[in-house]
Structure 1
């Protein structure tokens, strides 16, 4: 089985000149790798899917 082709996707809230976060799509199993779009060669933070999904849901519901 071949590995899927993964690409970094910038947040839709980010403008052309604005820095934002990028998420690796599709993410590796049980992870949510995030990086700073202004520093694509910089560090990557690997969140677990168990922590990332509730975080995104809280942001979408205005809880944060």
Structure 2
């Protein structure tokens, strides 16, 4: 069973979070940024840095990235 995403507000209570963008991101601005948060990974839209943040566990993130790399997500298909 996969972990369910939990919306979280990252950076509250004075915590500093280091966000990064994929090196594959183009210049069109359609990017997702991620931040490592100990046992989880936070994700946000790079165009809306004050917007919603989703946090998932490392196992879920690893499974998701493996599925993308393996072509199992239908990315780019109409």
Q: TM tier, shorter chain?
A: 0.7 to 0.9
TM-score scaled by length of structure 2: 0.64
Given that 1:30 and 1:50 are in contact with CA atoms closer than 8 Å, whether structure 2 keeps it comes out as no
1:3-42 CA distance string (max 9 Å, x none): xx74211122321222210011xx1221010000110111
Match of 1:30 in 2: 39
Greater Rg over alpha carbons, structure: 2
Gaps of 5+ in 1: none
Runs of 4+ in 1 over 3 A off after TM superposition: none
Number of aligned pairs? Answer: 58
